[in-house]
Chain A
Amino acid sequence: MTFALQSGLLFRRKLLETLRQPVWIITGLSTPLLYLALFEPLLRSVAGGPSLPAGHVLNVFVPGILALMAFGAGMGAGWVVIWELDSGVIERLRVTPASRFALLLGAVLRDVAMFVVPGIVVIGIAIGFGFTAHWDGLALILVLLALLTAACSATSAALGISLKQIGSLAAVVTGVQLPLTLLSGILLPLSLGPDWLRVLGHLNPMYYTVQAARDLAAGTITTTAVGTGFLVTGAAAALAMWWGTRSYQRAMT
């Protein structure tokens, strides 16, 4: 099957590119570990209410950290796309008969790998700190958050192709980053906040991803939140990939 072969080849190209820049692998790992080391003690001291029971801080916090990693692993895609537009790589690939979806997917899969591998490392370290592991739940978290990475990566790539300039892309991405992450309850559950904040949260697709991730981390797999999370995140990923593929079809430089 040509499409699978092309996606595999393009994934390998992107993976090699990443492995040759180990700096990114190190920052990809150090940020979540710093959160664990610096934010977790802070969180522990405010815990104790009904929304954030003491003793389980890490269980609430780790799924959030993983979601943040998944988000971050995807949102950087646009920078690479712009760099490839400027050096003519995308133009060259677009003149070949390669599938446009494969052109997108190669980079998306790399970003997914760049979430999953450090994600497993962070889970391992968190277990060492006292995080309660529910293995089936954790496996599903990785699948769910891989979809989030795919959605973010494809969106960022599509934005990169249409904006064409690093400055504009940076403005858009940092502009949406804060509301998206804050209103998803990644670092602190939204149930701690007032009603209006929770209403806003429900308008944010990522909110459902994080809710599902929390349930999964607790080992409760068959909740409505998990179903909704997979549905919303899966739909977002599908929509973003469709947009990204279209962008590759029509890219103009």
Chain B
Amino acid sequence: MPVTESPPVAIQALGLRKSFRVKDQAVEAVSGLDLTVAAGQIFGFLGPNGAGKTTTLRILTTLLPADAGQAFVAGADVMRNPQQVRRRIGYVGQLGGADGSATGLENLLLQARLYGMTAAAAASRAEELIELFDLRAFAGRIVRSYSGGQRRRLEVALGILHRPQVLFLDEPTTGLDPQNRANLWNQVRHLRDGGTTVFLTTHYLDEADQLSDRLAIIDRGRVIAEGTPAQLKQRYSGDTISITPSGPPDSLESLERELAGIPLVRSTRIEDGSIRLAVTDATRSMAAVFAALAGSGIAVRAAALAQPSLDDVFLHETGRSLRDAGGPTGGPATERPAGEQVAA
């Protein structure tokens, strides 16, 4: 057997399960989730709202006991040795967690002391973070008065204060403006370059695509696809067709219904004025699609073999669009990969 050097594992989850009782009914939020995250990378956890991302994260960060399964984070067993895990991880939750009635500096100092630093060490570490995250101008002010971006910066600083091996970020850029978002992305990359493993959940396609080194797509409590963003998209590169009709936008839906009826078309979604089809065999499907278009008499401006996006990957795996799967996502503008245009 060939011996391969594999990087150390930062996070490993095996058969995680967690269900909640909602109105006397057990709802399984995480159902047999397996996950392996190598150390030193940014790992994206992409899925629609309600897919089980946050529940998984809360299990991995010792906040929530799992019903079944095992999890190891930074070399310690989450169920058996949560205290050890807590020393080695950082966590920035969706809610943030900065204490609004204290100043930024007080937040930093208390956090440092709770991780066992001496008063002197806490003060110098707080100073470093104030510098690193550019908090100087408002570190002495009560956090309640911060803007969203200032607050988020402080919260990330709190999360990495004790130099954790693994940093968990739950939807870190939700509610941030584009500039703060870009800044946070840079900080996350910087942390990764320094050797920190970053595990982040997101429902933004572009965030998962551009920021993650690897990512897992989660739906209904289990991982349905895992790999680098390029690998995942490559998997369906020959299987996505984009049709842009030249008529008014309201003709899109009737055309979508018609195209969905073609046997080779597995699922469809509408995006930016065109219909994207997930098909089994693009070459054969193309002919069938053209035949259907000709039959319907709808004029088509462009038909293309499209470069799949992560949403197409989700569509292929689940038959649903990520955007529709979990209610409104309201993400910032998503960068579109250019399709190979074929004249229709």
Establish whether residues A9 and B110, one from each chain, have CB atoms under 8 Å apart when the complex forms. Answer: yes
Closest Cβ of chain A to B53, distance in Å, is 15
Q: Is the CB of B102 within 8 A of A17?
A: yes
A96 on the B face (CB < 8 A): yes
* Chain B positions within 8 Å of A16 at CB level: 101-102, 106
Known contacts A17-B101, A95-B62, A97-B116; is-contact A87 B96 (Cβ 8 Å): yes
**A97 vs B84: C-alpha distance when bound (angstroms):** 8
A window 44-101: CB within 8 A of B: 84, 86-89, 91-98
Chain B residues 110 to 125 lying within 8 A of chain A, measured CB to CB, are 110-111, 113-116
CB distance from A109 to the nearest CB of B (A): 15
Residue of B nearest to A84 (CB): B99
- B40-77 interface code vs A (CB 8 A; 1 in, 0 out): 00000000000000000000011111000000000000
Interface pair A88/B96, CB less than 8 Å apart:
yes
B91 cross-chain contacts in A, Cβ below 8 A: 91-92, 95
Q: Is B255 an interface residue (CB 8 A)?
A: no
Interface centre among A84, A95, A253 (most CB of B within 10 A): A95
Q: Does B234 have its Cβ within 8 Å of any Cβ on chain A?
A: no
Residue B231 is within 8 A (CB to CB) of chain A in the complex: no
Pairwise interchain contact B142-A20, C-beta atoms closer than 8 A: yes
Shortest Cβ gap from A168 to chain B (Å): 16
Q: Which chain B residue has the least Cβ–Cβ distance from A95? A: B91
Instruction: Describe A's contact surface by its main secondary structure.
Output: helix
User: Which B residues are CB-close (under 8 A) to A84?
Assistant: 99
Taking a contact as CB atoms closer than 8 A, the residue among B63, B65, B89, B97 that contacts A89 in the complex is B97
Chain A residue nearest to B92 (CB atoms) is A92
Q: Do residues B101 and A20 form an inter-chain contact, with CB atoms below 8 A? A: yes
- A94 and B116 form a contact (CB under 8 A): no
B97 touches A87 (CB 8 A): yes
Inter-chain CA distance A253–B115, complex, in Å, is 23
Q: Are B87 and A97 in contact (CB under 8 A)?
A: yes
Interface size, B (range): 20 to 34
Whether a CB of chain A sits under 8 angstroms from the CB of B100 is yes
**Contact status A91-B99, CB under 8 Å:** no
B64 A252 Cβ-Cβ under 8 A: yes
- Looking at the assembled complex, report how far the CB atom of B113 sits from the nearest CB atom of chain A, in whole angstroms: 5
A-B pairs under 8 A by CB, number: 77
User: Which residues from chain A contact B218 at a C-beta distance below 8 Å?
Assistant: none
Cross-chain contact B86 with A95 (CB below 8 angstroms): yes
Please tell me if B95 contacts chain A, counting CB pairs below 8 Å. yes
Q: Are B116 and A87 in contact (CB under 8 A)?
A: no
User: Does B341 reach chain A (CB closer than 8 Å)?
Assistant: no
A144 to chain B, nearest CB (A): 31
* CB-contact partner of A97 in B90, B115, B158, under 8 A: B115
Q: B-side binding surface: helix, strand, loop or mixed?
A: loop
Tell me whether B93 is interfacial, beta carbon within 8 Å.
yes
Report if A132 contacts B (CB, 8 A): no
**Distance from B294 Cβ to chain A, minimum over Cβ atoms (Å):** 56
Closest chain B residue to A8 by CB distance? Answer: B113
Chain B residues, Cβ within 8 Å of A98: 114
> Smallest CB-CB separation from A13: which chain B residue?
B110
Cα distance A252–B58 when bound, in Å? Answer: 9
CB distance from A1 to the nearest CB of B (A): 12
- Cβ of A96 and Cβ of B94 under 8 Å apart? no
CA distance A92 to B162 in the complex (A): 13
In the assembled complex, the Cα of A250 lies from the Cα of B62 at a distance in Å of: 10
On chain A, the residues within 8 Å of B113 by CB distance are: 5-6, 9
Q: Select one of A20, A95, A251 contacting B61, CB under 8 A.
A: A95
Which residues does chain A contribute within 8 Å of B62, judged by CB atoms?
Answer: 94-95
A224 interfacial by beta-carbon distance below 8 Å: no
Q: Closest Cβ of chain A: how far from B98's Cβ, in Å?
A: 7
Is the C-beta of A27 less than 8 angstroms from some C-beta in chain B? Answer: no
Which residues of B sit under 8 angstroms from A93, Cβ to Cβ?
97, 114
8 Å CB contact of B63 from A2, A17, A86, A91? A91
**Alpha-carbon distance between A86 and B95 when the two chains are bound, in angstroms:** 7
B83 at the interface (CB under 8 A from A): yes
In chain A between 151 and 194, which residues have their CB closer than 8 angstroms to a CB of chain B?
none
> A88: which B residues are within 8 A, CB to CB?
93-98
B111 and chain A: residue at smallest CB distance: A96
Shortest distance from the beta carbon of B136 to any chain A beta carbon, whole Å = 21
Residues on B with C-beta less than 8 A from A89 are 97-100
For residue B114, which residues in chain A have a CB less than 8 angstroms away from its CB? 6, 9, 93, 96-98
Question: In the complex the two chains form, is B111's CB within 8 Å of A253's CB?
Answer: no
State the CA gap A10–B65 with chains docked (Å). 25
Q: How far is the CA of A97 from the CA of B82 in the complex (A)?
A: 9
Q: How far is the CB of B187 from chain A (nearest CB, A)?
A: 18
A-chain residues with CB within 8 Å of residue B94 when the two chains form the complex: 88
Q: Which residue of A lies closest to B65 (CB)?
A: A250
Contact residues of A between 220 and 252, Cβ < 8 Å to B: 250-252
In the assembled complex, the Cα of A250 lies from the Cα of B82 at a distance in Å of 13
A96 touches B93 (CB 8 A): no
Which residues of A line the B interface, CB within 8 A?
2, 5-6, 9-10, 13, 16-17, 20-21, 84, 86-89, 91-98, 250-253
7 closest pairs, A vs B, by CB? A88-B95, A92-B97, A88-B97, A95-B91, A17-B101, A98-B114, A97-B86
Complex A-B: 26 CB contacts under 8 Å:
A6-B113, A9-B114, A10-B110, A13-B106, A13-B110, A16-B101, A17-B102, A87-B96, A87-B98, A87-B99, A91-B93, A92-B97, A92-B98, A92-B111, A93-B97, A93-B114, A94-B62, A95-B63, A96-B86, A97-B83, A97-B86, A97-B115, A98-B114, A250-B65, A251-B63, A253-B95
